[in-house]
């Protein structure tokens, strides 16, 4: 503030809580000193109302949806075989990147996304369970590296995380903690999901904040993890809109899909019956052609080599083809089911 504004703030103590006037260079933002009139008789005392911390005016709600183990050539929005209309709608209303890089592994991608740092700078060079003692790969995010959730929370946002959290050191995933690197220790006021690499989508190892809980119903009663966390996210957003409509929120929706195990009901798998009988070589060629048609990749783009250990489709026997085609059908059905949950969320 300028000197004249300082003087004005003394006369008008509520100005110090103006979200566009307070300094945000240091977090947590220092509390505003109390100003007012003290008196022996409480009826003669005078203090301004408490003003809760809020972000600057116009600060938006932020929702990040993360899908796991999905290649750039899988969803239909980029030319892939998995029908994903919600992702298409989001791309049509915004920006679709074709040069967004991940680490191609779960834990490091997540910590890089949440901190804006190189994953080694955040201590997670690989998945949390295979950490070593080497700097940058011990799975311990340094306390000098903050998450975006913590920065937004300290600026007056409501923050919540639902789904998969796979950036906690493996030896800290127990009732003993410590919980500094659980979602609730990383700036999320609410967490509902699982901590680790994967879980049974029909019967997950669920946590509410840092306490284990049972799923609200069984698989036989129609339970699915992706649907459950979407329900929780929608309920949380609606509650915030009722209670504090002036307070923006940061919501991180991290699906266990499409990571293994590929658990989805039969109706979604059957949508793709026979769609992959042509084999992965043909599907890859079709995907690249579709990407070129959409302008996703340059016209002179060539397919990468087949991964080591993966045979050409025409060298597989009949049983292998049947099994692998069904695996692809299951993956695609799982992806489309997840996209349907994103559609509900939006």
Instruction: Classify 171 as helix, strand or coil.
Output: helix
pLDDT by residue (tens digit) across 274-328? 999 999 999 999 999 999 999 999 999 999 998 899 999 999 999 999 999 999 9
Question: If we measure between CA atoms, which residue out of 281, 277, 285, 271 comes closest to residue 318?
Answer: 277
Instruction: Classify 178 as helix, strand or coil.
Output: coil
Section 209-237 average pLDDT: 97
Q: By percentage, how much of the chain surpasses pLDDT 90?
A: 84
**Per-residue confidence band for 6, with pLDDT thresholds at 50, 70 and 90:** very low
pLDDT by residue (tens digit) across 261-277? 999 999 999 999 999 99
pLDDT averaged over the chain?
92
Strand bridging mode 190-195 / 206-208? antiparallel
Residue 5: the pLDDT is 41
pLDDT by residue (tens digit) across 28-57? 998 878 788 888 998 999 988 888 899 999
Residue in the block written with tokens 């709600």: 61
| pTM greater than 0.75 (yes/no) | yes
**Per-residue confidence band for 17, with pLDDT thresholds at 50, 70 and 90:** low
CB-count burial class (<10 Å; 0-12, 13-18, 19+) for 159: buried
Cis peptide upstream of residue 6 (ω within 30 degrees of 0): no
**Per-residue confidence band for 4, with pLDDT thresholds at 50, 70 and 90:** very low
């Amino acid at each position: 503030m300028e000197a004249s504004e300082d003087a004005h703030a003394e006369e008008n103590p509520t100005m110090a809580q103006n979200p566009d006037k307070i300094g945000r260079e240091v977090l947590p933002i220092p509390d505003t000193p109390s100003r007012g009139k003290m008196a022996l008789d409480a009826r003669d005392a005078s203090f301004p109302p408490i003003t809760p911390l809020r972000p600057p005016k116009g600060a938006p709600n932020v929702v990040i949806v993360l899908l796991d183990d999905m290649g750039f050539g899988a969803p239909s929005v980029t030319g892939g075989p998995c029908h994903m209309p919600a992702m298409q709608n989001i791309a049509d209303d915004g920006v679709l990147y074709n040069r967004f890089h991940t680490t191609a592994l779960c834990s490091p991608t997540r910590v890089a996304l949440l901190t804006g740092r190189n994953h080694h700078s955040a201590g997670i060079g690989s998945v949390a369970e295979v950490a070593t003692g080497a700097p940058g790969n011990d799975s311990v995010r340094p306390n000098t590296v903050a998450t975006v959730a913590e920065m937004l929370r300290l600026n007056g946002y409501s923050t919540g995380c639902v789904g998969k959290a796979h950036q906690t050191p493996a030896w800290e995933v127990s009732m003993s903690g410590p919980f500094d690197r659980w979602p609730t220790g990383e700036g999320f006021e609410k967490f509902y999901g699982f901590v680790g690499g994967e879980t049974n989508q029909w019967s997950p190892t669920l946590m509410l904040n840092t306490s284990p809980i049972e799923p609200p119903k069984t698989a036989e009663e129609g339970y699915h993890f992706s649907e459950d966390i979407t329900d929780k996210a929608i309920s949380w957003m609606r509650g915030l809109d009722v209670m504090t409509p002036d307070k923006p929120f940061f919501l991180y929706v991290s699906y266990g899909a499409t990571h293994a195990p590929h658990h989805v009901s039969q109706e979604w798998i059957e949508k793709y019956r026979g769609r992959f009988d042509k084999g992965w070589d043909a599907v890859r060629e079709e995907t690249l052609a579709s990407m070129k048609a959409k302008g996703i990749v340059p016209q002179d783009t060539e397919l990468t080599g087949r991964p080591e250990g993966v045979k050409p489709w025409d060298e597989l026997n009949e049983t292998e083809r049947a099994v692998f085609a069904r695996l692809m059908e299951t993956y695609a059905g799982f992806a489309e089911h997840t996209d349907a949950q994103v559609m509900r969320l939006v």
